[in-house]
Amino acid sequence: MLNPYYWYGIIWTAVIVLYELKFSDYNANLNRGLSLFFAGSIIFSIILGFIFRNLFKYKSINRDRVDEIIKISHRVTMLFVGIGILDMVYSRQIPLFSISLGQSAYGDFDGIPILHVPFINGSIFILIYLFYIYIETKKQIVLRDLISLSAILLLMFLKGSIIMALFGMANLWYARERTIKSSGKKILSNKIRNIFLIIVALSLVIYLNGVLANIRTGVSWNNQTLISSMGHFNNRWPAWIPKQFGWAYLYVTNPLANLNLMTTYTSTLVSWAGIIIAILPTTVSKNLLPTYVNNTGGNMRLYSESLNASTGFVGLVNNGGINGMWIFFLLAMCILTLCVMVIKLKNSAYTSAMNATLSMLVTFLFFYDTFSTVICSWIWYIIIFTCYIENTKIVSGDLRIKI
């Protein structure tokens, strides 16, 4: 499913249901204003999704441009692989190994100044787009590019980037499967098979995420004591579920727990400086409002310093409470709609991959502000820029952009 408006409703419904299971002591009862906000925003987003539903149909690749598309994607991928290697050479470490061996901590890796942030953002979009090309063409060169760039992200221990890219890939795969025309009986069997495959794949990803989270925190991959203590499970966690899944549960529900806590301490006075900080990439806002950005951390209210995510609404709950959250939500929907309309206007070869990426950006609002956080905030602009240079051609071996 490539409809980002629907994904907003799906993710927040899932987060709230999991939150209400109360496997963690952190999951206090949601305050009334927060409950009304999520109920209203979910309904509003689903209505928008229904209105624009015809814009998100899966679009097959343009067969007349396949060779050209593969050449461009290969060159761009090799450029990013090269930047990734230079990043690690510059930092004199391979984060996956240095973190696993306890020689460095997660977050110590900064990479090459100026280049590192575009690399992270671009890599996520490129991986999603490469996967789209591969499932459409089954070309081995595309698969090799996909594996090469994924390996670089794994070596750099960019766990969040990998998970975001995997979400976009899974979304594309499922959307494509739904477009396959067959008999009614086969459609039903395909749906059952697809649902089963999604559940298995999702379970493996969540389990692997728990293993990597253990390694990231400096304990063995199978350590269960740390996650029990950190998550304040206190015998609430079901014995039949491996505690590696506890990391995913915390990642999904604790940001909402922190947000719920923060609404108790925030003012209802909306700050326009706070709006700018929440809606622009941090690398931009800290240059526009450096003093204000540096002071926003003091407003955070967390149950645990090691669990410091507070959803994508953290910026404006700190600068206007529930009213600020509504302003942020409406701005986010406006920006999303602008991107959707630009993609539709261009009717490009990138349409399906772009819609999958937009769905990912909206979905991950449950964890952090995808408009401002370093890992993915520039992807919104990458999408618009990619649409702008849609007339890219390979001429005489040179990449020329026709504007």
Rounded CA-CA distance 328/351 in Å is: 26
Rounded CA-CA distance 367/320 in Å is: 19
Rounded CA-CA distance 257/63 in Å is: 48
Rounded to a whole number, what is the distance in angstroms from the first to the last CA of the chain? 32
Of 336, 245, 304, which Cα lies nearest the Cα of 4? 336
Rounded CA-CA distance 195/182 in Å is: 17
In one letter, which amino acid is 140? Answer: Q
Buried-exposed string 228-266: b where 16+ CB fall within 10 A, e elsewhere: bebbbbeeebeeeeebbbbbbbbbbbbbbbbbbbbbeeb
For the chain, what percentages of helix, strand and coil (3-state, to nearest 5) are there? Answer: 70, 0, 30
Please give the full DSSP string across 71-125, using - where no structure is assigned.
Answer: HHHHHHHHHHHHHHHHHHHHHTS-HHHHHHTTSS-TT----STTTHHHHHHHHHH
Global pTM? 0.85
Asked if residue 160 lies in contact with residue 375, where contact means CB atoms within 8 angstroms, the answer is yes
Give the pLDDT of the chain (403 residues) as one tens digit per residue: 799 999 999 999 999 999 999 998 899 999 999 999 999 999 999 999 999 999 998 888 877 788 888 998 999 999 999 999 999 999 888 888 887 777 776 666 777 888 888 999 999 999 999 999 999 999 999 999 999 999 999 998 888 899 899 999 999 988 888 877 544 445 556 667 767 777 787 778 777 877 777 766 666 667 677 777 787 887 778 888 877 788 888 889 999 999 998 887 776 677 777 788 888 888 787 777 766 665 554 466 777 777 788 898 987 787 778 888 999 999 999 999 999 998 888 776 678 999 999 999 999 999 988 998 888 999 998 888 888 776 444 333 343 433 3
Instruction: List the chain domain ranges.
Output: 4-400
Rounded CA-CA distance 235/244 in Å is: 15
